[in-house]
Structures are given as structure tokens and as C-alpha cells.
Amino acid sequence: MRRLLAAAAAIVVAAVGCGAQPAAADLAQPRVVLSDPVDYTPHVLDGTVWSMALVGDVVVVGGTFTKVADSSRRHTYARTNLFAFRLSDGEIQSFAPKVDGGVYALVAGTSNTVYAGGAFKTVNGVAQRGLTRLTMGGTRVSSFTAKINWGDVRSLAGRGSFLYAGGTFTAVNGVPRAALARMNAVSGAVDTGFDARLSAPGLARTRVEHFDISPDGRKLVAIGALLRSGTAVRVQLAMFDIAGRGAVLSNWYTDAYRPVCLDTFDTYLRQVKFSPDGTYFVVAATGRMSSPVKLCDSAARFEVRGLGRHNPTWVQRTGGDSLYAVAVTGTVVYLGGHQRFLDNPYGSDAKGPGPGAVERIGIGAVSPTTGKAYSWNPTRKPRGVGVRVFLVVRNGLLVGSDTENLGHEFHGRIGMFPLP
């Protein structure tokens, strides 16, 4: 439908240059993307896409999969948990490193490299658990030696000379770090001055499900199975000042996620993103519960300014369906999961949609000012488990999930909505 956009994409990428995409917050965009996906993106034929990063004009894709195909589906390639394609035309690249576990996080590095985090234990046959740095030729950068002790890495960000990682680990390179660490981006050595001192007394483990860094690099907000930072209570969400040498817990806090959604959830928060101007962030949550007062199965905006307790500026409720992914472009907040409805605080699985609910199957967009749903409605059928990752690029919005339909067209687990 939009094959001619390949040429436009190439022009945009050339204007951006070959540097790494900013790792902190999403790119700003002037308007809502179109609802008709481009035709030239490749397809992932099994499993789930969990992560994406842009390195120059190349999109690196991570997840749990074994096969990919070009946009025509005439050519199939073996790719285990990692592959790459050219953003401007969808051409699958030779990039094919061997990792023996899922890749849940990616972030661009300098010198045409990418960092990967996940549940793997080896990279190209070499032991390196949970973290690695790769060239775009697929070679492991041997000088980067970071590795976790157990568990996985679920979120990565780069800022200046540092690489940040969050997940379920309790040590990096043998240095104790509960679920969040900062490392030298070149060597992988742990920054010993940076320790968020996260803990989750009474839970099975401390886990950073996701985190984001403000565009100015001064703040980090982390979400997940966490209850304290040091002796301070921080239930499921904590903000840190990171402009200095350490991780200083902010006096900013919220009690919005203290209420329990379902006893079996150690955390119901799934993703967090700062706005491009850094003035607010949005949290996407699951919860398996419909409630007009709790923040189960919701997206919520919080203002960064000020200290002390903060309540959400607005809450977008699905009526009992999970949200897993969020992107914030300044003009739009995109939400992905396996939701059927938005604007649905009084709906539920049992009762169906409530008053005012609008159908937004698996993907939707809301106003960053009010949190109310926009008319943008491309749909994802079947919904599957849901959208796991958005990647905002200069010329559109990439979507990664576990299903094969996007905007009423076949798109195997990857698709891109272009800007008009």
C-alpha cells in the first residue's frame, strides 16, 4: 500500500546520519502516524518480538524466535533471537549472532554496535550471561566483559559513557547489584558509585521490569517488583537523580501502585517512558482486574516536577485487559497490549465494555494532555499476548508483538506505521 515510502524513509535516515538513536526517552513526532502499515518490513515467523533498536539505518530486533522472512515471504532465513533489517527498505541484513536465550532489551552503542540484554548464557559460543555488545557484522565485542550472575536483563539504556541495565540479577561481574546497575559502556566494568539499593522484602525476588532515563540524563525512573530503595518505601516505582556520581533516591514518589490488583502479581507495571521534553512520564500496566479506582490494566501519566507524593495526572483504563508497551512522542501516547477497549473504566471481562468505551483492539493512541483515546484505530487481530515494544523512528512507529496481523494486513510480529 505504501511502497513509495521506502524512498522517503531513506531520505529521512540520511538526514539523521549514522549515529546511534538517543537512548533516553522516545523521539518527538509532530503528529499521529498513519493507520496503514508500510509493506516493506520483514516478518518474524514464530515466537515473540520483545525489543528493537535503531543503529544508523538498521533496525536490530530481539526476542524469542527462530525464523524470519522478507516482506514478500519468498525468502526465509534462520535467525535465533536476533536479526536486523534496513529501515529504509526492509532488507534483511547478514547480522546473525548466536545467542542461546531470549533477547529482551537492545540499545544502540557507538561505533556501529548494539548492546543486547536477555536470558542468554552464551554469545557466539562464548560464555557471557545476560549482557553483550555486538558489531553490526554480528561479532561479539570481546573487550566488553559485563555479565550477570543469574536471571535476565529486561531493560537497557545508554547515556554518555555509561550503560544502564535492569532485570532480575543480583550481581554484575561479581559486584552485588539488585536488579539495576550502571557500567562502563566500553569495558562493562560496574560503576561502584552507582547503587540504587533496591529490595522487595517478602517477594520472591527484586526485579526491574523496565526503566527509562529523562532526555537531559538527570533522572531515571524504574518500575517492577520493588518495595524499597535503602530504607525508603517505594512500591513498584522509584525515581532517582543520576546527574552526579551515584543513584540518589528522589523525594518524588507515588502511592498510586500500593493497592494490590491480583495476589499472584509481584508487580503489575510493565513499561515506562519519559516524554520527549522530560516533563512527565507514562506507565503501562497489567493487573487482570477492572477497577475505576485502582490502576490495574491502565496507563497513567505522572508529572516530574515537584517533590513529595504525586498522583497521576490522568489514567486510561482498558476495563480488564493488559497493557504492556507505551511510546510517548509529545503529540501522542501510543499504548499496546491485548486490550479490546480504551476509555473503559467501568467495563470488565464479565460485563463487557462500559459507558463511553471505544474499541481499540491491541493497539491505540491517546492524548498526552487528557489521556482520552484518539480516533486512530489500526487494530491487531488476533490480539495474542500483546504488543511488547514500540520503537519511534523519524519516519514512523515500529511495533513488535507475538501476532501476525497489523492494520488488517499480514505483518509477522513486526510492522511500521509511517508518518504522513
Buried b (16+ CB within 10 A) or exposed e, 86-99: bbbbbebbebbbeb
Q: How far is CA 35 from CA 28, 193, 321, 378, in A?
A: 18, 46, 22, 5
- The alpha carbon of 110 is separated from its chain's Cα centroid by a whole number of angstroms, namely 20
Burial degree of 212 (CB within 10 A; 0-12, 13-18, 19+):
buried
The structure's pTM equals: 0.94
Number of domains into which the chain is organized: 1
pLDDT in tens, 97-132: 999 999 999 999 999 999 999 999 999 999 999 999
Q: In which band, very low, low, confident or very high, does the pLDDT at 350 lie, cut at 50, 70 and 90?
A: confident
pLDDT in tens, 26-41: 999 999 999 999 999 9
What pLDDT, on a 0 to 100 scale, did the predictor assign at position 349? 84
Q: What's the distance, Cα to Cα, between the start and end of the chain in Å?
A: 13
**Average pLDDT score over residue span 343-347:** 95
What pLDDT, on a 0 to 100 scale, did the predictor assign at position 1? 44
Q: How far is CA 230 from CA 55, 127, 187, 201, in A?
A: 37, 33, 28, 11
- Angle formed at CA 274 by CA 154 and CA 201, multiple of 5 degrees: 50
| Cell reading at 286 | 497489567
What pLDDT, on a 0 to 100 scale, did the predictor assign at position 387? 98
What pLDDT, on a 0 to 100 scale, did the predictor assign at position 249? 98
Give the whole-angstrom CA distance, residue 158 versus residue 168: 19
pLDDT in tens, 204-214: 999 999 999 99
pLDDT in tens, 169-227: 999 999 999 999 999 999 999 999 999 999 999 999 999 999 999 999 999 999 999 99
pLDDT in tens, 235-251: 999 999 999 999 999 99
CA nearest 26: which of 293, 390, 405? 390
Q: What is the mean pLDDT of the chain?
A: 94
pLDDT in tens, 258-270: 999 998 999 999 9
pLDDT in tens, 6-27: 333 333 333 333 322 345 689 9
What pLDDT, on a 0 to 100 scale, did the predictor assign at position 24? 64
**Average pLDDT score over residue span 224-233:** 98
Rounded percentage of the chain residues whose pLDDT exceeds 90:
91
What pLDDT, on a 0 to 100 scale, did the predictor assign at position 291? 85
What backbone phi and psi angles, to 5 degrees, belong to 12? -65, -45
Q: How would you classify residue 81: left for phi > 0, otherwise alpha for psi between -120 and 50, otherwise beta? A: left
Q: What percent of the chain is helix, strand and coil (3-state, nearest 5)?
A: 5, 40, 55
pLDDT in tens, 45-103: 999 999 999 999 999 999 999 999 999 999 999 999 999 999 999 999 999 999 999 99
User: Which CATH number is 23's domain given?
Assistant: 2.130.10.10
Structural domain range at position 281: 5-418
Buried b (16+ CB within 10 A) or exposed e, 276-292: bebebbbbbbbbebbbe
CA nearest 321: which of 305, 343, 293? 343
